[in-house]
Amino acid sequence: MAEQRWVPKHNPWLIALVVSMATFMEVLDTSVANVALPHIAGSLGASQNESTWVLTCYLVSNAVVLPLASYISTLIGRKRFYMSCVALFGISSLLCGLAPTLPLLLFFRVLQGVGGGGLGPSEQSILTDTFEPAKRGQAFALYGMAVILAPTVGPTIGGWLTDNFDWRWIFFINLPVVVLSLFLTHKLVEDPPAIQKEVKEARSSHFRVDYIGFSLLALTFGTLEVVLDKGQEDDWFSSHLITAFVVVSAAAFLAVILWELYLAQKKQRPILDLMLFSNRNFALSMGMMFVLGASLYAVNTLFNQFLQNLMGYTAEQSGLALASGGLATMICMTIVGAISSKVDPRKLVAFGFAVTAASLFYMSGMDLQMSFAHVSLLKFFQGFGIAFLFIPISTMSYIGVSENKNNDVSGMTNLARNIGGSCGTSYLTTVYARHQQLHEHALIKNATNGNVFYLNRINTMTQQHMASGMSRMAAKQQAIQQFYQQLQAQAGVMSYIDIILFFAGACLLMIPVAFFMKRGVASSTAVMH
């Protein structure tokens, strides 16, 4: 006979609010530093390229810790691990804000990434255990709003703080949230009996730490993040360093798979439970989370660059224009959470990818004359589609998974989303640089004296400059230079459109994949505590 399901002592919605607050803070930190990089470089005497390591260091350490959350939680308990991560994140945020040199800032960002990496997986498993299956969709809606909304408003907050105060405040703003989160977590969150039992069994059986697996995993994702972040800058395989890092990452990845399978065969606890991939829902959820992360982070970054570099928006104006996407997601996730237990989640996922793909195809009509309202409308449609993805994908990833694997599922799905975001952003950087040159070359071919449009355009601009008092020769040179700048901007727009169409196609491919998943609310073992 099945055991009675464990019920937390405190209101589940208070618990959901507490963990979602910390989630928002952590995900926000992945994007809030973007707009502050020039200020950081100038303040610490670093080059622009060197300052990008502020982002890379965080992503590398964050990615390494994500799949380890379940493993470490088994050793010390989930609540203790979660609070330790929050505390480390807060202390390192303070140190980042006080850092006098770039090397120290990078070191503290690594610590911050370690603390932040353990939050997401712990929070998702806390929600899974806290809520009964029928209400998990609504709980994931609250969590999803934090995950999706944070990278949307991050550039706005970062730009406002940097413009009006100092770049160090992008780190200091975490401190009050950390203190409040620690206090509320201590009062409200508890480990269910199944987690407590697992910790006791691990301690009594002299649980062995998988140092080899940890080292291989750190090497795999650490080198991969460097490749993705620096590949385009160093011209990919033209660089011996990038080539070496690719080889090391691939070799370490293969080694960690073989090692973890060996441990599983020996009945020892691996860091990565690769047996989860035998569960169809989990395996497909990983792929969908990868596509979701790639599309979300890449398109947000793309629009931020488009608005600031080509449209002349400030960081704050750009953030405000993109905020409509977060608003749409926030509104729609509430609706999705309410209907998720009544509607086939596969249909919700298919609908979400269809709407997202349609919104991206609509975005491909972007041009340099777009108004603020038009940009906001485009992002609103994208945010509407994404709202139908996060909750059902997260919910279905737990179907057929036993209760003691919830931490593993949440850690690995978060990893898939983060790696997807890194790959998507890297794809954006690479394709933009290459396609911009191709489109520019194609456009220049038509800018000849035999092209009537080109001659008329140059003559018109020449007359305009002459009317302001310039000589004919100087006016014509200015007109040609101005035309070339416009041509470069148009080539940039065409490159962004190529990228948007790629992600639209990726979302379309996910629609039939959704129906290969098994429909269900949850497995019996996954919810019986």
Whether residue 528 is contained in a domain is answered as no
Domain shared by 138 and 77, yes or no = yes
Domain-embedded: residue 527:
no
Q: Which of the pair, 13 or 94, is modelled with greater confidence? A: 94
Do residue 374 and residue 462 come from a single domain? Answer: no
Residues 15, 155: one domain? Answer: yes
CATH of the domain at 379: 1.20.1250.20
Which of 15-24, 253-262, 470-479 has maximum average pLDDT?
Answer: 253-262
Q: Which domain holds residue 218?
A: 210-268
pTM over 0.75: yes
Residue 23 shares a structural domain with residue 108 = yes
In a domain, 441, yes or no: yes
Asked, for residue 529, whether it belongs to a domain, the answer is: no
Band of pLDDT at residue 505, cut at 50, 70 and 90: very high
Q: Please determine, for residue 521, whether its predicted confidence score (pLDDT) is greater than 70.
A: no
DSSP 308: I
Domain match, 365 and 505 both: yes
Residue 4 lies in a domain: yes
Same domain, 410 and 510: yes
Q: Which residues are CB-contacts of 405 (< 8 A; sequence separation ≥ 6)?
A: 70, 273, 276
CB 196 within 8 A of CB 190: no
* Most confident stretch, 71-75, 241-245, 272-276: 241-245
User: Do 162 and 232 lie in a common domain?
Assistant: no
**Does residue 260 sit in the same domain as residue 346?**
no
The contacts of residue 175 (CB under 8 Å, 6+ apart) are: 90, 93, 94
pLDDT tens per residue, range 263-313: 878 777 777 788 888 889 999 999 999 999 888 888 887 887 788 788 888
Question: Which of 186, 207, 228 is the last residue before a domain boundary?
Answer: 207
CA distance 288 to 509: 10
294 close to 427: Cβ distance less than 8 angstroms: yes
Q: Could you tell me if 320 and 419 lie in one domain?
A: yes
Question: What is residue 195's predicted lDDT score, i.e. its pLDDT?
Answer: 76
Q: Are residues 390 and 477 in the same domain?
A: no
Examine the fold and report which residue of 167, 184, 207 is the final residue of a domain before the chain moves on. Answer: 207
Asked if 25 contacts 177 with a C-beta cutoff of 8 angstroms, the reply is: yes
Number of structural domains the chain divides into: 4
Angle separating helix axes 102-117 and 37-44, nearest 10 degrees: 140
Residue 517 DSSP symbol:
S
Q: DSSP 3-state assignment of 89?
A: helix
Of 331, 328, 330, 321, the C-alpha closest to 300 is 321
- For residues 15 and 123, membership in a common domain is answered with yes
How far apart CA 467 and CA 475 sit, in angstroms, is 9
Same domain, 97 and 57: yes
User: Who contacts 366 (Cβ-Cβ below 8 Å, separation ≥6)?
Assistant: 306, 378, 493, 496, 497, 500
Whether 209 has a pLDDT exceeding 80, the answer reads no
The CA radius of gyration of the chain, in Å to the nearest whole number, is: 25
> What percentage of the chain reaches a pLDDT higher than 70?
92
Closest CA to 18 of 203, 230, 177: 177
CB 75 within 8 A of CB 199: yes
The answer to whether residue 186 is domain-embedded is yes
